[in-house]
Amino acid sequence: MGARWRRLIAGFLAALALVCGTLVSTAMLPERFASSLTGYYRSGEWWVEWIGPLKDRSVTLFCDKLNALRGGPLAGASACYWTLVPDKGVYTPEQTTDYAAFYNALEQGLDKMTGIDLSGALTLADYYRTDRHWRQEQLEPVVSLLGEQMGFSSTAVYSTQQGPDFIGAYRPYLPGWTRSEPFGWLTGEAIDAAVVENMQRPDQTGIYWDQALGSSNQYDLFLGGASPLITIRSPKAATDRKLVIFGDSFVSSLAPLLCDVYAEITLVDLRYLGTSVLEEYLDAEGKEVLFAYSAWVVNNSAMLR
């Protein structure tokens, strides 16, 4: 056999080995990503970030901060509620997030406030496949459950809008063959009429920030993404009630669905607005308060200022 044929055969065998190795590694993706430094794993079509077991010290700090707010700047609030936004890992067969452990710890630490358990209102299909967030168009059961506990009912009728398919915030950590997924949002009479004041983006006046469509941060469509303080005024609300929501990025897609109930909704992100200056920007007198944080923030509560 000539040298040329030997090189061709050797190249063919090397390519075959590469393909087989790729197939093997692809089949092992959940285990491989679960043990990697990035902490992501695959469960069916969903990619999930492993947030780790509950950190007692972090939960204590979290509860102490919320209780201090309740007794300080929020002392004049008419009611205080809290909820734990379920992590996707709650709904995968691997169940990498122990929702009950997180919820029970918060229930003990926030016993002077009313807790709302959202875990039964969601499934894995209600989350993006390539992002940690929930899908806004799937949140009506969440709104209904909040209403049962907070004393409101929503009769809003929505239309679903579709933007460019996207790969979410996990994109940098996922293999190149990862498929994009649909991206939608809801519009309706109250949402369309609402007026927004955004500390981070003074030029944004609508609920949706269209500049985010087609960008690498497409979820920022919802209220323009992270901001220390956002106020939504809803002239089409059915009541004159006012609500203050302390939360992370999950509430950006939830808050618009409350515009048909609340005449004013204020979103506070304590990752960017310190509690020491909160009273300069927020008057909670007579308003309802909802703390809505994901387990990831609860487990890393030192980020709250």
Would residue 48 count as lying in a domain? no
- pLDDT interval class at 259 (50, 70, 90): very high
pLDDT of residue 8: 38
Least confident of 30-39, 173-182, 225-234, 287-296: 30-39
pLDDT confidence of residue 91:
95
- Determine the structural domain holding residue 167 and report its residue range: 54-303
pTM value is: 0.85
Query: Residue 22's pLDDT is what?
Result: 29
Contacts of residue 118, Cβ cutoff 8 Å, sequence gap at least 6? 83, 84, 85, 86, 142, 145, 146
Q: How does pLDDT run across 82-103, given as a tens digit for each residue?
A: 999 999 999 999 888 899 999 9
Q: What is the mean pLDDT of residues 139-156?
A: 95
Contact 247, 267 (CB under 8 A): yes
Residue 18 pLDDT > 90, yes or no? Answer: no
Specify if 286 maps to a domain: yes
Integer Cα distance of 212 and 216 in angstroms: 8
In a domain, 21, yes or no: no
User: Confidence class of residue 200 from pLDDT cuts 50, 70 and 90?
Assistant: confident
Of the CA atoms within 13 Å of residue 144, those in its CB half-sphere come to 8
CB distance 295 to 87 below 8 Å: yes
Res. 13: pLDDT tops 60? no
The answer to the question of residue 31 being in a domain is no
Q: For the chain, how many residues are written?
A: 305
Q: Domain count of the chain? A: 1
Place of tokens 């990619």: 47
Q: Which of 21-35, 138-152, 164-178 has the lowest mean pLDDT?
A: 21-35
How large is the average pLDDT for residues 287-302? Answer: 94
Residue 26 resides in a domain? no
Query: What is the Cα Rg of the chain in Å?
Result: 22
Q: Does residue 45 sit within a domain?
A: no
Segment 127-137 mean pLDDT: 96
What mean pLDDT value characterizes the chain?
86
Whether 186 maps to a domain, the answer reads yes
Measured CA to CA, the distance from residue 254 to residue 294 in angstroms comes to 13
16 assigned to some structural domain: no
Q: What is the reported pLDDT for 276?
A: 82
Query: Does the pLDDT value for residue 273 go beyond 90?
Result: no
